[in-house]
Amino acid sequence: MTERPSPTALVRSLPATVPFVGPETQERERGRPFRARLGANENGFGPAPSVARAMAGAAPQMWKYGDAQNHDLRNALARHLGVGAENIVIGEGIDGLLGLVVRQYVEQGAPVVTSLGAYPTFNYHVAGFGGRLVTVPYRDDREDLDGLLNAVKLQNAPLVYLSNPDNPMGTWWEADAVEDFVEALPPTTMFVLDEAYGETAPPGALPALDVSRPNVLRMRTFSKVYGLAGLRCGYAVGEAETIRNFEKVRNHFGMTRMAQEAALSALEDQAHLQWVCGEVEACRQRLYRIARKNGLTPLLSATNFVTMDCGGDGQHAMKVLQELGKRDVFVRKPMAPGLDRCIRVSVGPAEEIDVFEAELPEALKAAR
């Protein structure tokens, strides 16, 4: 056997896997494209035309590295949010920032609390840094705040994760419930509040920004309603010293100049954001109707997707997903027990929803 360098014991212990199999991978395996790309919670309505123009204008400057301090974008976000620039860190999407948080707060073997079936990329980072996942089942299709809090205290966990609104169920907690959760947390536990879908949530779902607490990090993104998933730009908001710690571990040239320019332009075009939010709501209502017409039960959603209860078990829902795939419709589904009875359908342009609506009845018939 050829001798080779040996990875660390931790790396050797990990499976060779990724949290998601992307639609492009599936298309290559299938040998044809999807007609409806409704599985990745992207913004199929696209970025603002003003953003596309800004990107085209910036293209000749791409020989330059991006600003390592993300100065203009941080200050624009600070003005937009009413906080200081020192309260914001920019990163390669929320996914990249989650990895930095785990790296900062989780020693090997340390317990990390999350919900069973919640966003798997967070779990991926916890495993990658040697943390020990402690998972709490959902209750009534929402993340169980009491269960999460009890697990944190029982395990003396240094880190807890919650997405609100939630992925993969699309449900949410009102701001006062989240604030009560924060108040009850031990001050030594870092709370990551993932608000990737915050712009599509009801007004009462997001607590007011409070940058005085050193144990709360609020995560937001340009990937969803701003339509820039392909550029990977997210940000965290928190207390100044907590944010400064990111400077010790982040990739200072990780944000491309194009991502910075596009995000800055997107932030300036709030009219387009409001238009997208209107399209998201209209499409959610249409997806509710499609689900009910086909005997499925949609969950009310605060996100850019609708989760649909297929009325059976996880095996039946998987068959529905697979039959939709055979018909060139890309959707995803929750995988945790109890949640896996559902499929998850992203909102999208009318022509793609038309394809889903046309193919769903036959997919359900075949799955039965």
Residue-wise pLDDT tens digits, 155-214:
999 999 999 999 999 999 999 999 999 999 999 999 999 999 999 999 999 999 999 999
Q: Which two tokens stand for residue 319?
A: 């068959």
DSSP string, 234-290: EEEEE-HHHHHGGGGTS-TT-S-HHHHHHHHHHHH-HHHHHHHHHHHHHHHHHHHHH
Phi, psi of 343, deg, nearest 5: -115, 160
Please give the average per-residue pLDDT across 7-22, as a whole number: 87
Does 132 score more than 90 pLDDT? yes
Q: What is the spatial distance between Cα 79 and Cα 270, in angstroms, rounded to a whole number?
A: 14
**CA neighbor of 360 nearest in space, from 311, 332, 323:** 323
- In the sheet that holds 111-115, the strands lie side by side as 88-91, 234-238, 216-221, 190-194, 159-163, 111-115, 132-136
74 CB contacts (<8 Å, ≥6 apart)? 85, 88, 89, 90, 235
The reply to whether the predicted model has a pTM over 0.85 is yes
Alpha-carbon distance 367 to 324, whole Å? 9
What tokens were used for 141? Answer: 């299709």
Give me the amino acid identity at 165.
P
CATH architecture, domain defined by 49-268: 3-Layer(aba) Sandwich (3.40)
How large a percentage of the chain has pLDDT more than 90?
97
Contact 366, 323 (CB under 8 A): yes
Distance CA 68, CA 139 (A): 43
Contact 260, 68 (CB under 8 A): no
Contact 344, 330 (CB under 8 A): no
Domain range 21-45+271-367, CATH architecture: Alpha-Beta Complex (3.90)
How many angstroms separate the CA atoms of 146 and 136, rounded? 10
Q: What is the pLDDT of residues 57-88, one digit of tens each?
A: 999 999 999 999 999 999 999 999 999 999 99
Per the CB < 8 A criterion, the answer to whether 299 and 166 are in contact is no
Residue 360: partners with Cβ closer than 8 Å, 6 or more residues away:
290, 294, 324, 329
Q: What spatial distance separates the first Cα and last Cα of the chain, rounded to whole Å? A: 50
Rounded distance between C-alpha atoms, residue 347 and residue 343, angstroms: 13
- Structure confidence by residue, pLDDT tens digits, 273-325: 999 999 999 999 999 999 999 999 999 999 999 999 999 999 999 999 999 99
What's the pLDDT score for residue 79? 98
- Is the predicted pLDDT of residue 1 greater than 90, yes or no? no
Question: What is the rounded CA–CA span in Å between residue 115 and residue 160?
Answer: 9
Q: How far apart are CA 154 and CA 20, in angstroms?
A: 31
| 132 token code pair | 């020990």
Long-range contacts formed by 176-179: CB under 8 A, 24+ apart: 177/145, 178/145, 178/207, 179/207
pLDDT of 21 reads: 86
For residue 226 the two structure tokens come to 């701003």
Mean pLDDT in the chain? 97
Give the helix, strand, coil percentages of the chain, each rounded to 5. 45, 15, 40
Distance CA 321, CA 325 (A): 6
DSSP 38-97: -SS---TT-S-HHHHHHHHHHGGGTTSPPPTT-HHHHHHHHHHHTS-GGGEEEESHHHHH
Domain ranges of the chain: 21-45+271-367, 49-268
Reduced to 3 states, what is the DSSP secondary structure of residue 325?
helix
